[in-house]
Chains A and B, each alone.
Chain A
Amino acid sequence: MTVPDLGRVFERAFALSRDRLLRIVVVAGIAAVGCTVVTVGWVTQPSHLATGYAPRQPIPFSHKLHAGTLSIPCVYCHSGTTRSRHAGVPAVETCMNCHRVTRTDRPAIQQLTRIHESGATVAWERVHALPAHVFFDHRPHVTAGIACQTCHGDVQGMTVLKQHMSLRMGACLGCHRNPADALPRGSSIVRGPEHCQACHR
């Protein structure tokens, strides 16, 4: 069986010399690959993909209602901030502290009550996730008087919680190098640590 010469086929079809054709194909190919890399890279970079991430939660909990309208302090539920690296997600029991008596007529609260009584748990969709090699610690940040909103955004205005900060290293270091805006007035802190093992270990 004879194999058709593809080059000749193209040569005839486009009436170009083989050399010319090759030049065009190479240049166009490089441009196409480059465009793809840049476009995909730009679109998928964490600061674009991550910020604004607002998954549907199993129970339509509204931070706007609880933290905003009712002005419940963040640490009432996220009580780990001063004791642990992790702020923590409250136990179902913490919700029931109020919802044993409040709004028990709402379907979502009835769902919550059923979960609590059955001993099951609520699988919340994780919004803020750090890479495995980052060991962020809430304690020093909260102790320094940095408001939760600095990184988590205007949570008291969010009906559905969404990611505010990109959580990229640049965002962390930007603040560590110039923390004045984040810190309360009169704070003695000039800079945050910038050595690797402050976060990576």
Chain B
Amino acid sequence: MDHDGRREFGPGKVEPPPRSGLSRRRFLSLMGATAALATGTGCPGRGQVAPLTRAVEGTQPGVPGFYASAFQEALSSYSVLVKTREGRPIHIEGNDAHPTSKGKTSLRAIAEVLRLYDPDRLARPLVEGRPVTWADADGRVVPILLEARQRSRPVLLVTGAVRSPSTRALIADLGKALPGMKHVAWEPTVGDGELEALAACFGEVRRARPLPERAHVIVSFEADFLGPDRPEAVAGFVSNRPESALDARMNRLYVFEGGVSLTGAVADHRFRLPPSRAAAVIFALANALHGNGVPLPTSVDPRWLVPFDLERIGRESGAAPGPLMGVVSDLEREQGRSLVMAGTALPGEAHVACHLLNAMLGSEGRTLDASRESPLGLASWRELATVFKDAASGRFAAVVFWGTNPAYTWPDAGLWRSVVAGVAFKATIGSLADETAAVSQVVLPENHWLESWGDHETATDMLCLQQPAIAPLYDTLQAEEILLRWAKALGASVPASYHDHVKTLWRKQVWPSGSPVPFERFWQAALHDGVAGREVPPAPARAFSGGAVAAAARAAADRPAGVLELIAVPAVGVFDGRHANSGWLQELPDPITKLTWGNGALVSPADASRYGLTDGDLVRLETRGAATDLPVVVQPGQAPGVVTVAMGYGRRTGAVARGVGASVFPLLDAGSGSPHLRYGVALSPLGRRVPLPFAQRHGRLEGRDIVRHFSLADDADKLRRLTAHPVAELASLYPDQKYPEHKWGMAIDLTRCTGCSTCVIACQSENNIACVGPEQVVKGREMHWMRIDRYYEGGVDNPWVLFQPMLCQQCDNAPCETVCPVYATNHSTDGLNQMVYNRCVGTRYCGNNCPYRVRRFNFLEFTASKREPESLVFNPEVTVRPRGVMEKCTFCIQRIQDARQRAKVEGRTLGDGEIVPACAAACPARAIVFGDLKDPSSRVARLSLDERGYKVLEELGAKPSVTYLARISNSLGGRG
């Protein structure tokens, strides 16, 4: 607690509370097709109710509307449902009509609703930093394009990945109107190794979709496929995890990695392996399999693999020999039911080796499906470097940046400066004034995707339709509309609007020819569903050609050893920095390090003691010509000699993003072929320490079974302990709770949970949870109602990483209830530990008495003082809590109440699974099950009686309503 009053109430920390809750009332009265205007006239505080002039068909004040739309991030597109209230998007969920994502989406897609209301969004076009009209902006850009065409000088268009058929067609149209336009699509999170190996092995840059649901054995090398951005991979993976503890049919996941990823945390065996050694290990596995009689493709000479002896390489990299041999025997046994994956950061030879291994195991067409994938159409870092060199030499008349921010992400600052100097005219299309916009003469503000039309290809035969859920908040246009204006000005015959353009393309390419359904109805159905299949013949299987293997094997044998390696990984929250201005994502704790608001240099405990470092010590990481200062985070399980740094921090623009963490991009090497890896990094301690905003500072179980964890390889005694619940019933001074109708409860399956934290963001969005900033997190004042606790079990070198979603346990004998002096928290008749904000006086006794630390206190005015546009993101069904009030998870009481009332109106009883709290709705692994414990046939009632089930801190006798199901691993014994 800060006792210096002036510092506690310093500028920016607290704003005056809203006058008699006027903004809240205004908020409530927005309900309906009514928009209330808070006024100072008349009786104070009642305001006015202004209904719509014409009611909108199908909408009802106070009833949410759901619109199917789609969101793209790098190479992934997500089909989503946007929940709107009175025309205002307030929450995003996955679209359950989509056949592969099945109602789940990425946590960053959920957090997009905050970005829509970002006060930093550009509101009008800027020319030389001055706000202008669109006509003026066009007047600045179009003559330059016309002149470039007349003088036949090329124009450069740099974008992020383009996965939309309509956008692709539009760029082609623009290219026709502007001959010589060069379009480069580049993604800073995709490595050259992956792109170049695909081209070398298959002759085309077409990814295969991994199908973990079909794989009994999965081997991953730096591939974080269970991360938060692949909900369908998570669902596929957990579909092979057991429902019952003693069910031996369970997939096995081996992970080889330098840092600790979510995938590594879930792995049954995790090997610490520097990324530079990955290729050698994969070749050694191929060699060992070949030795066991698994045939090599005919184009591969077995002699190429001779240098890779698994035992020797395993010994050198410190892998436990038993599990390593287990990989070989598992793969040999499960040919065609196994899957090997290499992370995009790895160098080309590792990807070639991975393709070879998959070819030997017959994965293609079984656990890898490339038949519905289209070419990536991405430029590699090396290709972009060549284009930038051209640009620096003055080849291009103009450059347009859209959806990309090379001023921040491009590692070579010298080359970037010469691009800026070498191209006379630069324009940026974007929603924020980012680093690239700062060097552009013209900045064109883009709509948020929730204000835009579009389509996305999630597979060649599966398109998602993106429709606006709200009219543009500002004087902005969607980027495609801007390109369309230019194409029109250049004389191209293009549709009047981008909406027409998408519709025309769908009429031609997606609407089944000869369909008896009229196009308009087909279009309306596609808008409603958000997805539409199209008849496209599956692409022919990729044929592996082994020509590249010889060179790859030479490169794998030749990697430097004994030097410090740096690996840059996308941050779970801010990704590559494009979400850095989102407070939710900045405050989302990294699931492994639990660090919020910034990144650190993750080093192994061995390296930390070698350099004499501890958490928060500042170090300088230096490569040739570049240095970055970062605080150290000592990461148990990190491979010695490997430093992991998250991308996306150290932004120089944005009210939220600026100055948080440090950028790793300057340390990368665009020309190396594996830009995310850097060998021979120098680490030097700076002798200073900074406080780090960790959301969890202690990760040991201290001998208590808070997270129960068993392995199928454990002896029978330990397995038997699963079913034993030795906790004696404690005598209680209080009478038992009585539940006449319902008793809400939850079951959380720790075997399914991958720690991805999607539930945390979904909860934050649904329940108006505050962001507090790094200074407050350092003081332990973060506000998440749902958090993921991370524990380590075993030695620090390579421990088990255990996740546990932790939320209010809604205890029957709640310790918090008995200590509240004003009866602000008490028990409801349906088993909820209810919290009444307007009664709370902020003594914090309840928070101090809670053994689960799930009660959160509003130390400052975090949310109630928010004004438009920020306040528009609030869920009007949940109170916005002011300063001085305690709060906590309510099991999404607003959803419970709404479902109950709907059932009541319809004169029926509530069905099981009808009420879905935000966390359960978002969980890609379906690890969270909610329901009525009084209904013995409900899923949650059955799961809470499962033999794996237990309560956390059961011995305290609080009788929680949340049952955890013990985590089961399918290890061979030992860790890796």
Asked if B901 contacts A140 (CB within 8 A), the reply is yes
5 contacts between A and B (CB under 8 A): A89-B51, A121-B51, A126-B46, A139-B901, A201-B897
The stretch of A9-17, A25-33, A65-73, A128-136 in contact with B is A128-136
Nearest to B877 among chain A residues (CB) is A135
- Digit string of A114-158 for contact with B (CB within 8 Å is 1, else 0)? 011001111111110111110101011001000000000000000
- Specify which of B50, B826, B877, B894 is in contact with A123 (CB 8 Å cutoff): B50
Nearest to B29 among chain A residues (CB) is A126
- Digit string of B817-859 for contact with A (CB within 8 Å is 1, else 0)? 0000000001011101010111100000000000000000000
Asked if B50 contacts A80 (CB within 8 A), the reply is no
Beyond contacts A88-B51, A121-B52: 9 other A-B pairs, Cβ-Cβ < 8 A, are: A83-B905, A85-B62, A93-B53, A115-B53, A124-B50, A132-B27, A140-B904, A143-B905, A195-B828
Within the assembled complex, what's the spacing in Å between the Cα atoms of A85 and B31? 9
- B residues 54-103 touching A (CB-CB < 8 Å): 54-55, 60-63
Asked if A133 contacts B879 (CB within 8 A), the reply is yes
- Specify which of A84, A89, A130, A201 is in contact with B894 (CB 8 Å cutoff): A201
Asked if A82 contacts B53 (CB within 8 A), the reply is no
Within the assembled complex, what's the spacing in Å between the Cα atoms of A131 and B20? 10
| Given A93-B54, A119-B53, A126-B47, A200 contacting B31 (CB threshold 8 A) | no
- A residues 54-97 touching B (CB-CB < 8 Å): 55, 79-80, 82-86, 88-94
Asked if B21 contacts A131 (CB within 8 A), the reply is yes
Most chain A Cβ neighbours within 10 Å, of B27, B31, B43, B837: B43
**B682 located at the interface, meaning its Cβ lies under 8 Å from any Cβ of chain A in the complex:** no
Within the assembled complex, what's the spacing in Å between the Cα atoms of A53 and B43? 9
Within the assembled complex, what's the spacing in Å between the Cα atoms of A115 and B61? 21
Nearest to B64 among chain A residues (CB) is A84
A188 CB to closest chain B CB (Å) equals 12
Asked if A196 contacts B834 (CB within 8 A), the reply is yes
**B239 located at the interface, meaning its Cβ lies under 8 Å from any Cβ of chain A in the complex:** no
Nearest to A194 among chain B residues (CB) is B829
A187 CB to closest chain B CB (Å) equals 13
- Specify which of A115, A116, A196 is in contact with B826 (CB 8 Å cutoff): A196
Within the assembled complex, what's the spacing in Å between the Cα atoms of A193 and B832? 14
| Given A93-B55, A121-B52, A139-B901, A84 contacting B61 (CB threshold 8 A) | yes
A102 to chain B: which residues have CB within 8 Å?
A: none
B611 CB to closest chain A CB (Å) equals 51
| Given A133-B837, A196-B826, A91 contacting B51 (CB threshold 8 A) | yes
| Given A88-B34, A125-B46, A132-B28, A197 contacting B62 (CB threshold 8 A) | no
B880 CB to closest chain A CB (Å) equals 8
8 closest cross-chain pairs (CB), A and B: A132-B24, A84-B62, A195-B828, A91-B55, A86-B62, A133-B838, A197-B834, A123-B48
| Given A139-B901, A140-B904, A129 contacting B54 (CB threshold 8 A) | no
**B42 located at the interface, meaning its Cβ lies under 8 Å from any Cβ of chain A in the complex:** yes
| Given A91-B33, A140-B901, A86 contacting B61 (CB threshold 8 A) | yes
- Specify which of B34, B42, B897 is in contact with A55 (CB 8 Å cutoff): B42
A88 to chain B: which residues have CB within 8 Å?
A: 32-34, 51, 60-62
Asked if A80 contacts B61 (CB within 8 A), the reply is yes
A83 to chain B: which residues have CB within 8 Å?
A: 60, 63, 905
A132 to chain B: which residues have CB within 8 Å?
A: 21, 24-25, 27-28, 879-880
A77 CB to closest chain B CB (Å) equals 10
Within the assembled complex, what's the spacing in Å between the Cα atoms of A193 and B901? 12
- B residues 564-591 touching A (CB-CB < 8 Å): none
B28 to chain A: which residues have CB within 8 Å?
A: 130, 132
**B606 located at the interface, meaning its Cβ lies under 8 Å from any Cβ of chain A in the complex:** no
Within the assembled complex, what's the spacing in Å between the Cα atoms of A168 and B894? 22
Asked if A55 contacts B43 (CB within 8 A), the reply is yes
A56 CB to closest chain B CB (Å) equals 9
B36 to chain A: which residues have CB within 8 Å?
A: 126
Nearest to B18 among chain A residues (CB) is A132
In which size bucket is the chain B interface?
35 or more
B441 CB to closest chain A CB (Å) equals 39
A119 to chain B: which residues have CB within 8 Å?
A: 53
A141 CB to closest chain B CB (Å) equals 10
Main secondary structure of the interface of A (DSSP, over half): loop
**B384 located at the interface, meaning its Cβ lies under 8 Å from any Cβ of chain A in the complex:** no
A126 to chain B: which residues have CB within 8 Å?
A: 29, 36, 46-49
- Specify which of A89, A130, A201 is in contact with B879 (CB 8 Å cutoff): A201
Interface residues of A, count at CB 8 A: 44
Nearest to A116 among chain B residues (CB) is B53
Asked if B60 contacts A125 (CB within 8 A), the reply is no
Within the assembled complex, what's the spacing in Å between the Cα atoms of A116 and B54? 8
Within the assembled complex, what's the spacing in Å between the Cα atoms of A156 and B334? 78
A143 to chain B: which residues have CB within 8 Å?
A: 904-905
A130 to chain B: which residues have CB within 8 Å?
A: 28
A93 to chain B: which residues have CB within 8 Å?
A: 52-55
| Given A89-B32, A93-B55, A129-B25, A55 contacting B46 (CB threshold 8 A) | yes
B24 to chain A: which residues have CB within 8 Å?
A: 132
**B878 located at the interface, meaning its Cβ lies under 8 Å from any Cβ of chain A in the complex:** yes
Within the assembled complex, what's the spacing in Å between the Cα atoms of A119 and B52? 9
Asked if A129 contacts B45 (CB within 8 A), the reply is yes
B904 to chain A: which residues have CB within 8 Å?
A: 139-140, 143
- Digit string of A171-201 for contact with B (CB within 8 Å is 1, else 0)? 0000000000000000000000101111011
A127 to chain B: which residues have CB within 8 Å?
A: 46
Within the assembled complex, what's the spacing in Å between the Cα atoms of A115 and B50? 12
A139 CB to closest chain B CB (Å) equals 5
B712 CB to closest chain A CB (Å) equals 42
Within the assembled complex, what's the spacing in Å between the Cα atoms of A86 and B31? 8
Nearest to B55 among chain A residues (CB) is A91
Asked if A125 contacts B42 (CB within 8 A), the reply is yes
Within the assembled complex, what's the spacing in Å between the Cα atoms of A85 and B34? 13
Within the assembled complex, what's the spacing in Å between the Cα atoms of A139 and B47? 24
- Specify which of A80, A116, A133 is in contact with B32 (CB 8 Å cutoff): A80
B47 to chain A: which residues have CB within 8 Å?
A: 126, 129
B832 to chain A: which residues have CB within 8 Å?
A: 195, 197
Within the assembled complex, what's the spacing in Å between the Cα atoms of A127 and B42? 11
B29 CB to closest chain A CB (Å) equals 7
- Specify which of B53, B62, B838, B880 is in contact with A80 (CB 8 Å cutoff): B62
Asked if A91 contacts B48 (CB within 8 A), the reply is no
Within the assembled complex, what's the spacing in Å between the Cα atoms of A126 and B44? 11
**B478 located at the interface, meaning its Cβ lies under 8 Å from any Cβ of chain A in the complex:** no
- Digit string of B9-30 for contact with A (CB within 8 Å is 1, else 0)? 0000000000001001101110
**B385 located at the interface, meaning its Cβ lies under 8 Å from any Cβ of chain A in the complex:** no
B896 CB to closest chain A CB (Å) equals 8
- Digit string of B872-891 for contact with A (CB within 8 Å is 1, else 0)? 00000111100000000010
Most chain B Cβ neighbours within 10 Å, of A91, A93, A115: A91
Asked if B46 contacts A123 (CB within 8 A), the reply is no
B25 to chain A: which residues have CB within 8 Å?
A: 129, 132
Within the assembled complex, what's the spacing in Å between the Cα atoms of A82 and B60? 11
Asked if A197 contacts B49 (CB within 8 A), the reply is no
A84 to chain B: which residues have CB within 8 Å?
A: 32, 60-63
- A residues 36-67 touching B (CB-CB < 8 Å): 53, 55
- Specify which of B37, B826, B878 is in contact with A201 (CB 8 Å cutoff): B878
B338 CB to closest chain A CB (Å) equals 49
Asked if A121 contacts B829 (CB within 8 A), the reply is no
A97 CB to closest chain B CB (Å) equals 11
B61 to chain A: which residues have CB within 8 Å?
A: 80, 84, 86, 88
Within the assembled complex, what's the spacing in Å between the Cα atoms of A200 and B836? 6
B679 CB to closest chain A CB (Å) equals 55
Asked if B21 contacts A197 (CB within 8 A), the reply is no
Within the assembled complex, what's the spacing in Å between the Cα atoms of A126 and B48? 5
Within the assembled complex, what's the spacing in Å between the Cα atoms of A131 and B894? 17
Within the assembled complex, what's the spacing in Å between the Cα atoms of A115 and B53? 8
A116 to chain B: which residues have CB within 8 Å?
A: 53
Within the assembled complex, what's the spacing in Å between the Cα atoms of A124 and B868? 23
A124 to chain B: which residues have CB within 8 Å?
A: 48-51
A133 CB to closest chain B CB (Å) equals 4
Within the assembled complex, what's the spacing in Å between the Cα atoms of A197 and B35? 27
